[in-house]
Structure 1
Amino acid sequence: MFIRYEVAGKVATITLNRPEAANAQNAALLDELDAAWVRAADDPEVAVIVLRAEGKHFSAGHDIKGSSAPDSAAAKLTLERLYDYESRRYLEYSLRWRNIPKPSIAAVQGRCISGGLLLCWPCDLIIAAEDALFSDPVVLMGIGGVEYHGHTWELGPRKAKEILFTGRPVTAHEAEQVGMVNKVVPRDQLDTETRAWAEQIAKMPPFGLRQAKRAVNQTLDVQGFYAAIQSVFDIHHTGHGNALSISGFPVLARFDQMKEQIGR
């Protein structure tokens, strides 16, 4: 089991529980995570959902040397199969978590790399430990960013281009300054601060919370968020297609360079 699920009071806590792999995401972890989100959404006693992670890091992203993609041997992999896999586990899952009609809070510590952004960005609020670093270095693999391309919305266009072009991480305090993170706290206070926020929010009328969330998300969608996320997912796959035509499965070809860049 890669996910722990607990309910205390009106708060459901979903915990990434693969610390030995820096909570890297294989297919089983993502499927378990989606099931936990749906369980929390369907439970009438749950008012707020918290997403957190065990260990030093929130998530090192997709398990690019494990089982995070179908048949990673280049001879077996086609763009169609990769597109189908990623549209379900990366795009569809992240959009579903974003639109669950209950407030959600992500508690992020350590590294949050590439696919890790697909876990915290769908949450309504993000509380970050002072040691949190957010990055998306997949341009190193010839791809324009991760599948759920929230960069422009979360960071603004110029900061989004900066982190994509350079691959450098954004610190917790930088993320707070641009509005991607709501609050930065010492590492040893991350869980208690997140719990305090969750319990405070859980006292609000559930339907009011639901409508407030819908109002903000719907405003973003009217501004183009949903259409942009869908269209940029296709741009992401032009990167995969180019890499497949040149050198086979792109992740493995550039893994060592990417590993050096992110300091794993």
Structure 2
Amino acid sequence: MTETLVRYEDPAPGVARIVLARADKHNAINPKMIFAVNDAFDRALADDSVKVIILAADGRNFSAGHDIAETVEMYQADMQERSPRISGWSGFNEPATHGWYAAEKEGYLESARRWRNISKPTICAVQGKCIAGALIFAWVCDIIIASKNAVFSDPVATFGMPSIEWLGHPWELGPRKAKEFLFTSDSWSADEAHRLGMVNHVVELDELADFTLAMAQKIATKPSFALKLAKEAVNKTLDIQGQMNAIDAAFYLHQLGHNQNFRLFGWGMDPTNTPALATVPKKPA
């Protein structure tokens, strides 16, 4: 039976909701989920009646981040299978047959770039844990609403990596707090994220869906073209400040981290401080 990874909903006129639906695995992200989210964004973008897009998740946790239980070969196979049929993904002009770098660039960096720039306002609703790669899903959205039990972390320094593939940290947290977040691998509360400006609002868990939908409906009363221009103006300001160039440059450092770990451990991550990684199938790309 095919696993349902993402659900598409129409909760109110003018609003589409994309829901991560892998709650039994804490919405761990694999390539097929990325493709499904991308398809859902495409669907919402193509529907002129949709003015605002919500990204949410089933279950206790928003997402546990990348599903590292899958081998490099599985990642590449999924990218290879999908890439000839992808439309609208920058750089997806050939199958991803060139290893880990190509799979991660097309699967994570380029998809995130596209979602960040999609020409409709996006709101992310976060509950429970939002770990590592899941931060990408939240950060590319225009607005983040968190429940009081939301917890954010990027613990990949523990695995011998500098950060996740999308280095939004300095922009979301400021440079000094970004360094603390990365160096310590600590988990930070929704209130702390709100204090730092990463989160727009913090609400009770049982109010999260309604609060998010109410904001989406309020935004949906505005003219679509005005919303598109306002979003593009803010994103372009960040671009002029160098956000996308910085994220691109950091992605290459991310790959350098993988290469160092391949050299030392025969796999893209350092298992020294994480015994659970020792049980994950490892095979170099």
Same fold (TM over 0.5): yes
* Aligned mates of 1:256, 1:141 — CA distance in 2: 7
List per-residue Cα deviations over 1:203-256 (Å, max 9, x = no partner): 011111110000000000000001011110001000000000111113473584
- Residue of structure 2 aligned with 1:208, choices 217, 223, 226: 226
Paired position in structure 1 for 2:57: 53
For 1:104-143, list aligned pairs within 5 A: 104-143=122-161
* Aligned mates of 1:30, 1:210 — CA distance in 2: 24
* Runs of 5+ unmatched residues, structure 2: 77-96, 278-285
* Aligned mates of 1:40, 1:255 — CA distance in 2: 42
* Aligned mates of 1:191, 1:257 — CA distance in 2: 37
Sort the Cα spacing of 1:193 and 1:95 in 2 relative to 1 into closer, same or farther, 3 A.
Answer: same
Identity of counterpart residues, as a percentage? 45
Amino acid at match of 2:8: Y
The secondary structure found in structure 2 opposite 1:15 is strand
The secondary structure found in structure 1 opposite 2:263 is helix
For 1:224-235, list aligned pairs within 5 A: 224-235=242-253
Shift of 1:161: 0.3
For 1:158-177, list aligned pairs within 5 A: 158-177=176-195
The secondary structure found in structure 2 opposite 1:70 is helix
Q: Answer whether contact 1:138 1:258 (CA < 8 A) is retained.
A: no
Q: Answer whether contact 2:165 2:254 (CA < 8 A) is retained.
A: yes
Shift of 1:103: 0.3
* Aligned mates of 2:273, 2:35 — CA distance in 1: 24
List per-residue Cα deviations over 1:23-60 (Å, max 9, x = no partner): 00111111101111111111111000000000000000
List per-residue Cα deviations over 1:128-158 (Å, max 9, x = no partner): 0000011000011111000011000000001
Paired position in structure 2 for 1:148: 166
Amino acid at match of 2:50: V
Amino acid at match of 1:210: K
Sort the Cα spacing of 1:258 and 1:214 in 2 relative to 1 into closer, same or farther, 3 A.
Answer: farther
The secondary structure found in structure 2 opposite 1:143 is coil
Sort the Cα spacing of 1:161 and 1:118 in 2 relative to 1 into closer, same or farther, 3 A.
Answer: same
- Residue of structure 1 aligned with 2:261, choices 243, 252, 263: 243
Q: Answer whether contact 2:15 2:54 (CA < 8 A) is retained.
A: yes
Superposed CA RMSD: 1.8
The secondary structure found in structure 2 opposite 1:55 is coil
* Runs of 5+ unmatched residues, structure 1: 74-78, 260-264
Paired position in structure 2 for 1:16: 20
2:52 matches 1:34 = no
List per-residue Cα deviations over 1:107-140 (Å, max 9, x = no partner): 0000000000010100000000000011000011
The secondary structure found in structure 2 opposite 1:50 is strand
Shift of 1:80: 4.7
2:7 matches 1:4 = yes
Q: Answer whether contact 1:26 1:62 (CA < 8 A) is retained.
A: yes
How many residues were matched structurally? 253
